[in-house]
Amino acid sequence: MLEIGGRAPEFTLPDHTGQNVSLSTLLRTGSVILYFYPADFTPGCTREACSIRDLHMEIQKAGLDVAGVSPQNPETHRKFREKYQLPFTLLSDLEKVVIKMYDVAGPLGFGVRRATYLIDRSRHIRSAVLADFRIRLHEDFIRTAVALSARG
């Protein structure tokens, strides 16, 4: 994991439509919740994505954006978004370049660790959680980020 207080690395990845999206683009309207997950359509990742979907209105009301990053291709992300009606951006990191930049590659470079960062408009990491299989911790992290952002 990257250190809280440090600067989040800039990146550009294709989204679920194949369009390139950068961290700076995500930060244009405010802070962003950037979460990393192993794979679309797996039970844990589906549960996590659906919990974020269910919180999405609160996330937006707090002035936050959210984006997920995993190593699947844009087409798989598009199908995942459609099936579960996910209203947020999914980014494709096929080569795991950004996954490595954010220090969330799995052991020996295999897989992706489940991690969530709160990044402010100046690209500083304000908070982070690494919880792997404890998906509830990610939901609690997002609820806390929403509550803090809503208070200003």
Each residue's pLDDT tens digit, 17-48: 999 999 999 999 999 999 999 999 999 999 99
Q: What is the pTM of this model?
A: 0.94
Angle at CA of residue 106, ends 41 and 67, nearest 5°? 50
Residue 49 counted as domain residue: yes
Q: What tokens were used for 86?
A: 């996910």
Give domain status of residue 6, yes or no: no
For residues 1-19, average pLDDT: 97
The boundaries of the domain holding residue 18 are 12-150
Report if residue 1 sits inside a domain.
no
Is 108 a domain residue? yes
The one catalytic residue among 21, 23, 34, 45? 45
Is 5 contained in some domain?
A: no
Quick one: pLDDT at residue 37?
97
Condensed to tens digits (0 to 9), the pLDDT of residues 77-126 reads 999 999 999 999 999 999 999 999 999 999 887 889 999 999 999 999 99
Q: How confident is the model at residue 152 (pLDDT cuts 50, 70, 90)?
A: low
The CATH number of whichever domain residue 41 belongs to comes to 3.40.30.10
Residue 45 designated active-site: yes
Q: Band of the pLDDT at 134, cuts 50, 70, 90? A: confident
- Residue 102 within any structural domain of the chain: yes
Q: Is the pLDDT of residue 1 over 80?
A: yes
4 domain-assigned = no
81-89 LR contacts (CB < 8 Å, sep 24+):
81/16, 83/41, 84/46, 84/49, 84/50, 84/53, 85/53, 86/49, 86/50, 86/52, 86/53, 87/53, 87/56, 88/52, 88/53, 88/56, 89/15, 89/16, 89/21, 89/26, 89/65
> What domain count does the chain have?
1
Residue 96 structure tokens = 């795991």
Q: Is residue 62 part of a domain?
A: yes
